Structures are given as structure tokens and as C-alpha cells.
Amino acid sequence: MGTNSLWQMLLPVCLLVGCGSAESPAQKPQEKTVFDPLVQQEQRARDVQKTVDANADRTRKMLDAQERGETP
């Protein structure tokens, strides 16, 4: 493949990219799908897990403090 044929392939690509609009097209609102209830349920489960982890961490720190003889 010679340099000339490389330029012949590269030139149209550069022109298409260079002539495109600088702004991205306005995004339409996300449409509802059959998976939306499952995704929402999964997000709720993640939020609950974060709460459980935070409470477990707080309890663990309190127990460690009591073992060292510190008062809360």
C-alpha cells in the first residue's frame, strides 16, 4: 500500500470528521424499558447495602474503642 493510496483513504475520513458539527446533538430523554423496574430494584439494594455497611463499620469502631477502654 503506497503513501498515495493511504492519503486517498485518509482524506475523506478527515473531511467527514472535520465538517461534523462541534456540538453534540441534544440527547432525548431516556425511554422506559422493560428492565427499568429491575434496575431500580438493584439500585435500591445497593443503597441498602451501603447503609448496612456504614452501620457495621460504625459498630465495629465502637467495639474497638470499648476494647481499648475508651469511652464513646
Q: How confident is the model at residue 22 (pLDDT cuts 50, 70, 90)?
A: low
User: How does 22-55 read in b/e, with b if 16+ C-beta sit within 10 Å?
Assistant: eeeeeeeeeeeeeeeeeeeeeeeeeeeeeeeeee
- At 36-54, the pLDDT tens digits run 999 999 999 999 999 999 9
Rounded mean pLDDT, 18-45: 83
Separation CA 3–CA 64 (nearest Å): 70
Q: Is the pLDDT of residue 5 over 60?
A: yes
